[in-house]
């Protein structure tokens, strides 16, 4: 057989296999790990004592507008020397709640429900293990996640009957607008179950009557504001009815309770209503070229050097693993900060009658579910057809060349 003819065919086959491998690799979603670090410390600084705050450790919660932060990580002096160890109880993490005004109050002077002035005009924010939480009624040891907070110019338009997915299972529905266009019937749901239903008054003059607030008993606290929004405008048309809301605020109603003696990584908690303190139970080794876990997603990373040089860092995982399963599932609100494209003319809504309130809810049919499943079926991995086609061509070429010989 003529080698000058066969060699190009072999090269084509190898190239095809490589292309198929690349196509298959494209089908795998990679996981990206992002590192956020604090200022670098050395042995001399460690022996003298050093602390990290939001000013020099970007992973800690920080509010730029109000210059607020709550977290501190301190390495007490005289604990890290030639043995490269942090002695027990010498690494200290502290955090506490800070009061912050609702955007609703800051911009409009309007308040949510409640007798406590501080809780009617604002809430308590707290950084916890390099994440942002809301301290329930100002308690440092009872935390919930902040899910949605609209800025002053954010708005959302809802058609009546539309369920707005707010994230973490929450949904807001504008059930009806009354014939006069001065009342809206809202319902708030979580995981398909109704939490609250209320009629809110609106009109040309925006007052506290236009603020919808849902409160719930959470942890050891009563009447905690979970959701609030301002009805900014209502439009009643012949084909559709639209409600526009602003200053939406939502926290989760699942509380993280922190008790004294709770363990978080290498740290043990001393918790109270005003502050949480964590200290390392055992010595922490800062051996060279190591990543030593502290708590949560927080680590100390050391240099590959005989001289001690290290910094605190937090790792965040973004994306999915090769098998398509989320490494870290984070649920975010759907279009929570969407700005409406519809210009809604404010008008001055009817309180639903019992018959209207009892109207059935339309749910997806089995046929709809089947159709959705077919649409989301996993696509086949492309490229292998090309390999078989090229292999067939090579076989034909081989036979032709044999006949010529």
| Mode of pairing for the β-strands spanning 298-302 and 31-37 | unpaired
Q: How confident is the model at residue 339 (pLDDT cuts 50, 70, 90)?
A: very low
| Mode of pairing for the β-strands spanning 131-135 and 241-251 | unpaired
Q: Bigger pLDDT: 30 or 285?
A: 285
Which pLDDT score is estimated for 86? 92
Residue 211 lies in a domain: no
Structural domains of the chain, count: 1
Which pLDDT score is estimated for 337? 43
Which pLDDT score is estimated for 147? 97
Token pair 């949510």 in the structure block, residue: 112
Residue 399 lies in a domain: yes
Which pLDDT score is estimated for 14? 46
Which pLDDT score is estimated for 118? 85
Which pLDDT score is estimated for 330? 34
DSSP state of 90: -
Give how far Cα 201 sits from Cα of 102, 156, 210, 340, Å: 21, 18, 5, 21
User: How high does pLDDT run on average in the chain?
Assistant: 79
CB 296 within 8 A of CB 265: yes
> If DSSP codes are grouped into helix, strand and coil, which group holds residue 1?
coil
Which pLDDT score is estimated for 30? 58
Q: What is the pLDDT of residues 297-311, one digit of tens each?
A: 999 999 999 899 999
Which pLDDT score is estimated for 378? 44
Q: Would you say residue 184 has pLDDT above 90?
A: yes
Which pLDDT score is estimated for 154? 96
Q: What is the pLDDT of residues 198-247, one digit of tens each?
A: 999 887 678 888 999 999 999 999 999 999 999 998 888 778 889 999 99
Q: Bigger pLDDT: 174 or 316?
A: 174
Which pLDDT score is estimated for 326? 33
Q: How confident is the model at residue 314 (pLDDT cuts 50, 70, 90)?
A: very high
Q: What is the pLDDT of residues 382-404, one digit of tens each?
A: 444 554 555 565 655 555 455 55
Residue 10 lies in a domain: yes
Q: Two tokens at 30?
A: 């990679």
Q: Where are the beta strands (DSSP E) in 181-255?
A: 183-190, 193-201, 211-218, 221-236, 241-251
Domain that holds residue 398: 3-27+381-404
> If DSSP codes are grouped into helix, strand and coil, which group holds residue 266?
coil
Residue 389 lies in a domain: yes
Which pLDDT score is estimated for 84? 86
Residue 20 lies in a domain: yes
Residue 175 lies in a domain: no
Which pLDDT score is estimated for 208? 87
Highest mean pLDDT among 72-81, 82-91, 280-289: 280-289
Residue 299 lies in a domain: no
Q: Two tokens at 329?
A: 């599932």
Residue 267 lies in a domain: no
Which pTM was predicted? 0.70
């Amino acid at each position: 057989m003529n080698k000058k003819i066969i060699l190009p065919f072999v090269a084509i086959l190898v190239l095809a296999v490589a292309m198929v491998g690349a196509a298959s690799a494209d089908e795998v979603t990679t996981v990206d790990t992002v590192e956020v670090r604090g200022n670098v410390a050395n042995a001399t600084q460690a022996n003298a004592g050093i602390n990290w705050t939001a000013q020099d450790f970007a992973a800690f919660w920080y509010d730029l507008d109000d210059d607020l932060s709550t977290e501190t990580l301190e390495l007490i002096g005289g604990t890290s020397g030639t043995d490269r160890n942090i002695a027990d109880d010498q690494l200290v993490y502290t955090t506490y709640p800070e009061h912050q005004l609702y955007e609703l109050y800051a911009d409009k002077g309007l308040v949510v429900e409640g007798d406590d002035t501080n809780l009617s005009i604002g809430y308590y924010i707290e950084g916890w293990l390099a994440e942002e939480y809301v301290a329930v009624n100002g308690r440092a040891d009872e935390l919930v996640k902040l899910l949605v907070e609209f800025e002053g110019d954010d708005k959302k338009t809802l058609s009546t009957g539309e369920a707005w997915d707010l994230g973490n299972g929450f949904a807001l529905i504008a059930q009806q607008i009354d014939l006069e266009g001065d009342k809206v019937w809202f319902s708030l749901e979580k995981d398909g179950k109704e939490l609250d239903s209320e009629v809110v008054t609106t009109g040309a003059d925006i007052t506290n009557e236009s603020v919808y607030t849902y409160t719930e008993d959470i942890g050891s606290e009563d009447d905690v504001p979970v959701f609030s929004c301002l009805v900014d405008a209502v439009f009643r048309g012949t084909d559709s009815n639209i409600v526009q809301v602003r200053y939406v605020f939502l926290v989760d109603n699942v509380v993280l309770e922190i008790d004294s003696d709770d363990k978080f990584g290498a740290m043990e908690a001393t918790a109270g209503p005003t502050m949480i303190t964590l200290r390392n139970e055992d010595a922490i080794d800062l051996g060279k070229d190591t990543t030593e876990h502290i708590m949560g997603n927080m680590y100390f990373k050391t240099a590959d050097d005989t001289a001690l040089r290290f910094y605190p860092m937090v790792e965040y995982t973004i994306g999915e693993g090769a098998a398509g399963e989320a490494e870290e599932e984070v649920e975010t609100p759907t279009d929570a900060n969407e700005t409406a494209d519809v210009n809604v003319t404010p008008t001055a809504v009817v309180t639903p009658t019992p018959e209207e309130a009892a109207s059935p809810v339309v749910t997806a049919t089995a046929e709809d579910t089947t159709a959705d499943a077919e649409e989301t079926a996993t696509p086949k991995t492309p490229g292998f057809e090309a390999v078989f086609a090229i292999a067939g061509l090579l076989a034909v070429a081989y036979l032709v060349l044999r006949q010529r010989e």
